Amino acid sequence: MSNKTGANDRQSVTYIILGGSLLIIIFLTIFILVSGASDSKMDYVHIIIPVIATWVGAILAFYYGKQNFDAANEQVRKIVEKLTPEQLAEKPVTTIMRALRDMAYFSVPKDRGEKDVKISELTKLTDRVSRLPILDAGYIPKYMIHESTINKYLVQNPGSDGSLQELIQSFKCGLDNGFVIVSENTSIGAAKKRMEEIPSCQDTFITKSGKAEEPLSGWISNIRLEKFLRV
């Protein structure tokens, strides 16, 4: 249901309750005038009128309170949209990073080395994603493999199911080549600058304090970063 439809429904309910309450009051007034006011009848009026007033008040508070809340939310949204790229760049990388739990990645098992991992194992994952972070068994970032890199290797080595080790020896996929590492409190602008300092680097990995031997917290691609900064 759209916000517009929901607002129309609330407005209809409000009109029905207000109209019904008004009719009840009019009916009571006519009834008392026609039949004559007595103490027992006035007692009923004294009971019913406050109940109706409370009911109507609650409905009006809900309806107009919701309108004010929606208006405030809309105002906040407009303020956020007016933030400049410079202001957005000051936010920490955790604002836009894709957290480890939400990433597709390949973790090299403890009992296997890079020479034991076949490229065919990686292509099964790159069928779904175009970039594949490679981590060790402790989730420490080791390489960033792009689908285009795998395709280039396969073109150069037709019919070969080489190893991860052969792939990374043929192409620069590691730290300060394929990616940079920053800490969780690094600003988005600083991460962008770090990435741009390295030719062809398109990815930023985030660890807690920015150390290469720490487990991966998240990842930002150049596309995700530029989309956020609207540049």
pLDDT, greater one: 33 or 50: 50
Give pLDDT, residue 65: 63
Q: Is the pLDDT of residue 15 over 90?
A: no
Q: Is the pLDDT of residue 41 over 90?
A: no
Residue 12 shares a structural domain with residue 100:
no
CATH code of 196's domain? 3.10.580.10
Q: Residue 183: which domain range?
A: 88-229
At residue 90, φ and ψ (nearest 5 deg) are -80, -10
Residue 54 shares a structural domain with residue 98:
no
How many domains does one find in the chain?
2
Residue 187 shares a structural domain with residue 78:
no
Residue 107 shares a structural domain with residue 175:
yes
Domain termination site, one of 31, 55, 82: 82
Give pLDDT, residue 159: 83
Q: Is the pLDDT of residue 177 over 80?
A: yes
Helices (H), the chain: 3-35, 39-81, 85-89, 119-126, 147-156, 164-170, 188-196, 222-229
Residue 69 shares a structural domain with residue 150:
no
Confidence of residue 20 (pLDDT cuts 50, 70, 90): confident
Residue 101 shares a structural domain with residue 212:
yes
| Residues contacting 35, CB < 8 A, separation 6+ | 41
Give pLDDT, residue 83: 67
**Residues 204-218: tens digit of each pLDDT:** 999 999 999 999 999
Contact by Cβ (8 Å): 186, 148: no
Residue 78 shares a structural domain with residue 99:
no
Domain termination site, one of 53, 82, 111: 82
At residue 226, φ and ψ (nearest 5 deg) are -65, -35
Token pair, residue 57, equals 């008040």
Residue 133 shares a structural domain with residue 54:
no
Q: Is the pLDDT of residue 76 over 60?
A: no
Domain termination site, one of 47, 82, 117: 82
